[in-house]
Chain A
């Protein structure tokens, strides 16, 4: 399938000499949700800003829907909607007028039925005549989403959409994103909330110091880089961990009631069966066994550490 976004050797060096992006190539398929993860200043926003036309690239090309963003910019931009990181709204304008204005900017003819549907889907219809300055932070974010969707874009960029948003609203926003995906919109989001990427994304890209470290399907990434932690709850607390078990990498909790064991899901042998057999041989009674997958946050940190090393 032809990618809806095709980034080829994209670079950006600012006048100050800072290299914000260094030879980044990436293809994004239609209808997928790609999460871009990276620390502050990694280059996430620069990449989005170049694709949307806010920043001029120093090198490389970007095609959106087959249209070069520099040569055929009008056609490319018609396909894009952007929800910026900062809340930027005209304070004295009514919500509905804001959305109509953005639709007009994209050259789309008036469509009040669609705008009503859009505002209702974002729970903004009741606030349509409110001035934007009267809205809460969460509602302002939703207005930004409504504006970005006002011309029915095929690609939506969400630059840290839930930054500074409370947990309840964050969940609501995720719901909105899932609904958009169901409607076939391709979504590229940057976030600091790894839980967000873990919950929503189909693929995850990790970017640091302007370089794209990897892009993988989320499940593959979790599988490849994810370690699992086995927790063994004991019937009778142990005073000390037998040396042979310690040599296998087992740890004992301070109260002696739990043993812990990290293993790699990709390894040919995880050693769990052998471990449980050893415990039985030593008459160590096991009350319960549980496992926990490494979170994306842990994977992300380990990737950055590897890169720094």
Chain B
């Protein structure tokens, strides 16, 4: 293992984050705060509490997940796609650096950024919605594992993409709908039985459910299943990334 190279990539990616801190941090935080204002403070008071949790607080885990998923995918996909686009990928490919170090560097940085943004959002939610966290350890564990899983997915998208359109199409057309339909703003149990069954085919539902459980002790699916879902996602993504680097698909001629 070439740990220094993983650290170099990680530091390089984080430096980009801090160079563009307004775009990277302030922008997603601001948009999520707007959700809090509209759905929490303005409309939330008029919506019935869900299983005893005020609506404004209920949506906090879902909104955090929405941001984490979007940011993880966007950061990781852009992180690896930009060197491909600018041509600087050559120096990563010619260095004595294996797929594990490259993945650790890029994905680690993308997940770290997403977690940082989520934690800032959490801090602001205390102010707006007075959220209480029932299981802080599991909240951090779900947050970290989800950020890791979706950063790995974003990394694959960045490796696969041949242009900026492809880079954005999966987050726009797949991730965002899955989050909205995965219970970011409601509990799956509020749906009619048929649609509740359909919703349970959505892998994101398991992540949001587990994350919400860590806040309120409420879950649409067993917490163990949520952990298995995110664990499986991490393993599958790692296997795909390993295959890409070992075969050189879309990387080497």
Binding site for B on A (CB under 8 A): 14, 49, 52-56, 73-75, 77-78, 80, 82, 84, 86, 88-93, 97, 100-109, 147
Contact = CB atoms under 8 A, between A and B. Distances in A.
Interface stretch (B93-101, B110-118, B122-130): B93-101
Contact of A107 (B5, B12, B87): B5
A97 B15 CA distance: 10
Nearest to A103: B8
A77 B94 contact: yes
Given A56-B252, A88-B90, A91-B86, A101 B2 contact: no
B253 interface: yes
A105 B90 contact: no
Nearest to A144: B91
Interface residues of B, number: 28
A300 B253 CA distance: 29
B29 to A, nearest CB: 22
Closest 10 CB pairs of A and B: A104-B8, A88-B87, A105-B95, A74-B96, A77-B96, A107-B2, A52-B94, A107-B4, A55-B253, A105-B5
A90 B92 CA distance: 13
B94 A89 contact: no
Interface of B: 2-5, 7-9, 11-12, 15-16, 19, 83, 86-88, 90-98, 248, 252-253
Contacts, number: 79
Given A105-B95, A147-B91, 4 more contacts: A56-B252, A82-B90, A90-B83, A92-B16
B92 A105 contact: yes
A104 B4 contact: yes
Contacts of B97: 105, 107
Given A104-B4, A107-B2, A107-B4, A54 B86 contact: no
Contacts of A77: 94-96
A107 B11 CA distance: 14
A108 B4 contact: yes
